[in-house]
Structure 1
Amino acid sequence: MLLAKNLKYLRSESGITQAELAAKLGVQRSMISAYEDGRSEPKLWALEVITNTFGVSLDELLHHDIQHNGRKAHFQKEIRILTIAVDDSDRENITMVPQKASAGYLNGFADPEYMESLPQFHLPNLSKNNTYRAFELSGDSMLPLVPGTIVIGSYVEQLRDIRSGQTYVLVTSTEGVVYKRVFNYLEENGKLFLVSDNEHYKPYEVKGEDVLEIWEARAFISTDFPNPKDKSKPVSLDDISQMILELKAEITRMR
């Protein structure tokens, strides 16, 4: 395992002293020295702080020789270690991110205290093998789901597992928290194309390196019942594919 070597290299390259890293972890400086010498290994909570501090995945930190082989391609990295909340029976709760809390979530999603401050609940008939999070939608870009709808997403560990054409909640450093239909072009150019089901919104692209978390939509909760007279229809996959082609052509012309 390359933890000790990678930690020492990343700390040095970032210009962070052992004392400064120790302060972030809440441990003695001698413990950082022990980590870097391979005499001790960080606990899971400490690994979470380390990966967030240096912007690496856990897999990269433990198994990839960063100094000699360079950083892995961003789209191959794991999403950062997930912070979860549990109940008194040690069952994972579904954490609810209300619309008003979405901005704060960008800064607090890795903070256990912040996560515990958000609403928690359980739902039946969801696989116990997955971790779920709920996000309240804003705007009308994903009709027929209306503002206020709660989308429950299943955590996706790696960006390469994104399936083109499926809907996801993405937590990104550039666009915030968004719910979109995603098309995976990471192997081609390291980017994702995000498409709204409402044809009035144009698709756009996000770099894989800007994605902090991604949740595959599995269910939704809404107090707005479908109206059979409502003529608003989501665009078809053929329409979406055509929009993607037009967007790529526009980007090519701009270059």
Structure 2
Amino acid sequence: MNRLPGNLRFLRKRAGMTQGQLAEKIGVQRSMISAYEDGRSDPKLAALEVMASVFDIVIDELLFWDIESNGRRYLQQNKLKILTVTLDDQEEEWISMVGAKASAGYLNGYADPEYMENLPNFRLPNLSKDKTYRAFEISGDSMLPLMPGTLIIGAYLEHGMEIKNGKTYVLVTKSEGIVYKRVFNYIAEHGKLFVVSDNDRYKPYDIPIEEVLEIWEAKAYVSAHFPDPSSGPLTIEDLGKMIREVQQDIRKISGS
């Protein structure tokens, strides 16, 4: 089923563009955008390619996926992202470490094999061998009791829809850089992830899924600091309260 009319209208409105503005970007008359959105005309391949570039989306997602109902299908511009990893002599994957000072360079070099080979590599026992892992050094105090300098070991996720509400993830993003937060999945409803700090001094905020380059589900951490017992672990009651507060914030954002 051709989903282009609904997808085009939804993406254009979400981007805050008029039909005239989109027509100018694509190089067609405004009336053609109206015809595309009404299903009265189909764009040529060249116009489809420009649309895909404008909305940072792949063509088959634009044509055949109900984005408004189901959220974005793919995180990256390519349907399947080829993740760059480093291997030992036995062809087994290392855990590459992205230190705090290397985080800015990682945004440009994460797909470069030469860059990845120059990162420190190590291995941890008891991790499933069917996943790819990466270590990220966190900075700041937004995720107390984990202290600055802690290494978060994350398992790579291919799609944002795999995110489980309230779990912690490392997000590699275009605008925010590398962040470690508790994440809530609102891709289907709003095309966004809602991120929350465990330190309530920091306000939650949302990240459009188009901004996300990589998602790593936190599986372990390595730290030279023992957590303060007085802070205690996050309880089910704490998590329930956090979810309710996130839902209230989402409703405020949606209504604004």
Report the TM-score when normalising by structure 2: 0.70
Q: 1:248 aligns with which of 244, 250, 256?
A: 250
Q: Equivalences for 1:177-192 in 2 at 5 Å?
A: 177-192=178-193
Q: Equivalences for 1:6-45 in 2 at 5 Å?
A: 13=49
In structure 2, the CA distance between the partners of 1:113 and 1:71, relative to structure 1 (3 Å rule), is: farther
C-alpha contact (below 8 Å) 1:171/1:177 kept by paired residues: yes
In structure 2, the CA distance between the partners of 1:10 and 1:195, relative to structure 1 (3 Å rule), is: farther
Aligned-residue identity in percent: 52
Q: CA deviation at 1:91?
A: 0.8
Q: CA deviation at 1:55?
A: 5.9
C-alpha contact (below 8 Å) 1:96/1:120 kept by paired residues: yes
Q: CA deviation at 1:246?
A: 3.4
Q: Using the alignment, how far apart are the partners of 2:116 and 2:47 within structure 1?
A: 27
Residue 127 of structure 1 aligns with which residue? 128
- Shift >6 Å, 4+ stretches: none
Letter in 2 for 1:245: Q
Q: Using the alignment, how far apart are the partners of 1:240 and 1:231 within structure 2?
A: 16
Q: Equivalences for 1:227-238 in 2 at 5 Å?
A: 227-228=228-229, 230-231=230-231, 236-238=238-240
Structure 2: state its 5+ residue gaps: 1-44
Structure 1: state its 5+ residue gaps: 1-8, 15-53
Residue 152 of structure 2 aligns with which residue? 151
1:215 matched to 2:212? The reply is: no
Q: Deviations over 1:123-149 (max 9, x none)?
A: 111111000000000011111111000
1:139 matched to 2:127? The reply is: no
Q: Using the alignment, how far apart are the partners of 2:198 and 2:206 within structure 1?
A: 15
Other structure's SS at 1:85 match: coil
Residue 118 of structure 1 aligns with which residue? 119
In structure 2, the CA distance between the partners of 1:231 and 1:12, relative to structure 1 (3 Å rule), is: closer
Q: Using the alignment, how far apart are the partners of 1:90 and 1:10 within structure 2?
A: 42
Q: CA deviation at 1:104?
A: 0.7
Residue 3 of structure 2 aligns with which residue? none
Q: 2:72 aligns with which of 60, 64, 75?
A: 75
Letter in 2 for 1:76: R
RMSD: 2.8
Q: CA deviation at 1:245?
A: 3.0
Q: How many residues align?
A: 200
C-alpha contact (below 8 Å) 1:97/1:135 kept by paired residues: yes
Residue 20 of structure 1 aligns with which residue? none
Other structure's SS at 1:76 match: coil
Q: Using the alignment, how far apart are the partners of 2:186 and 2:126 within structure 1?
A: 33
Q: Deviations over 1:104-163 (max 9, x none)?
A: 111110111111111111111111100000000001111111100000000001111111
Report the TM-score when normalising by structure 1: 0.70
Letter in 1 for 2:214: E
